Amino acid sequence: MGDAELLRRLHDDYVWQVNAAVGEDRMDLVAALADEYADRALRLITDGEPAGCGPECAVCARRAAEPPRRPPVRGWRRLLRR
Protein backbone atom coordinates (compact mmCIF):
# COMPACT_ATOMS: atom_id res chain seq x y z
CA MET A 1 0.00 0.00 0.00
CA GLY A 2 1.46 3.36 -1.05
CA ASP A 3 1.63 6.62 0.84
CA ALA A 4 -1.27 8.09 -1.12
CA GLU A 5 -3.51 5.17 -0.18
CA LEU A 6 -2.50 5.41 3.49
CA LEU A 7 -3.23 9.13 3.50
CA ARG A 8 -6.59 8.55 1.84
CA ARG A 9 -7.55 5.95 4.46
CA LEU A 10 -6.38 8.21 7.28
CA HIS A 11 -8.44 11.06 5.83
CA ASP A 12 -11.55 8.93 5.43
CA ASP A 13 -11.26 7.65 9.00
CA TYR A 14 -10.91 11.14 10.45
CA VAL A 15 -13.74 12.53 8.32
CA TRP A 16 -16.01 9.84 9.73
CA GLN A 17 -14.88 10.58 13.32
CA VAL A 18 -15.27 14.35 12.90
CA ASN A 19 -18.73 13.97 11.38
CA ALA A 20 -19.77 11.76 14.31
CA ALA A 21 -18.40 14.30 16.80
CA VAL A 22 -20.27 17.15 15.05
CA GLY A 23 -23.46 15.06 15.15
CA GLU A 24 -23.03 14.72 18.92
CA ASP A 25 -22.25 18.47 19.24
CA ARG A 26 -18.76 17.71 20.59
CA MET A 27 -16.75 20.62 19.20
CA ASP A 28 -13.98 19.99 21.73
CA LEU A 29 -13.53 16.54 20.21
CA VAL A 30 -13.60 18.02 16.69
CA ALA A 31 -10.68 20.33 17.55
CA ALA A 32 -8.72 17.49 19.14
CA LEU A 33 -9.32 15.24 16.12
CA ALA A 34 -8.21 17.98 13.73
CA ASP A 35 -4.94 18.45 15.64
CA GLU A 36 -4.37 14.71 15.85
CA TYR A 37 -5.07 14.27 12.14
CA ALA A 38 -2.51 16.91 11.18
CA ASP A 39 0.13 15.28 13.40
CA ARG A 40 -0.51 11.78 12.07
CA ALA A 41 -0.62 12.91 8.44
CA LEU A 42 2.68 14.79 8.78
CA ARG A 43 4.26 11.81 10.48
CA LEU A 44 3.03 9.55 7.69
CA ILE A 45 4.32 11.89 4.97
CA THR A 46 7.74 12.44 6.53
CA ASP A 47 8.32 8.87 7.71
CA GLY A 48 11.65 7.68 6.38
CA GLU A 49 12.81 11.16 5.36
CA PRO A 50 16.02 12.49 6.91
CA ALA A 51 15.48 15.03 9.67
CA GLY A 52 18.02 17.45 8.27
CA CYS A 53 20.66 17.92 5.66
CA GLY A 54 22.96 15.07 4.92
CA PRO A 55 26.71 15.16 4.33
CA GLU A 56 26.13 15.75 0.61
CA CYS A 57 24.29 19.05 1.15
CA ALA A 58 26.16 21.70 -0.86
CA VAL A 59 24.84 24.63 1.18
CA CYS A 60 25.90 23.17 4.52
CA ALA A 61 29.29 22.11 3.16
CA ARG A 62 29.93 25.66 1.89
CA ARG A 63 28.93 27.19 5.22
CA ALA A 64 31.27 24.86 7.10
CA ALA A 65 34.19 25.78 4.82
CA GLU A 66 33.72 29.56 5.10
CA PRO A 67 35.23 31.41 8.05
CA PRO A 68 32.68 33.21 10.20
CA ARG A 69 32.00 36.78 9.13
CA ARG A 70 32.49 39.77 11.38
CA PRO A 71 29.33 41.76 11.91
CA PRO A 72 29.36 45.19 10.27
CA VAL A 73 30.50 48.04 12.47
CA ARG A 74 27.72 50.54 13.01
CA GLY A 75 27.14 53.68 14.96
CA TRP A 76 29.91 55.59 16.72
CA ARG A 77 32.34 52.62 16.59
CA ARG A 78 32.50 53.09 12.82
CA LEU A 79 34.27 56.41 13.40
CA LEU A 80 36.94 54.77 15.55
CA ARG A 81 37.97 52.35 12.78
CA ARG A 82 39.22 55.09 10.42
pLDDT in tens, 38-51: 999 988 888 876 65
Q: CA of 24: how far to CAs of 28, 57, 65, in Å?
A: 11, 51, 60
81, pLDDT greater than 70:
no
Q: What is the pLDDT of residue 4?
A: 85
Of the two residues 3 and 24, the one the predictor is more confident about is 24
What's the whole-model pTM score? 0.56
14, pLDDT greater than 70:
yes
Whether the CB-CB separation of 18 and 33 falls below 8 Å is answered with yes
At residue 52 the predicted structure's pLDDT band, cuts being 50, 70 and 90, is low
* Residue 35 to residue 40: CA distance in whole angstroms: 9
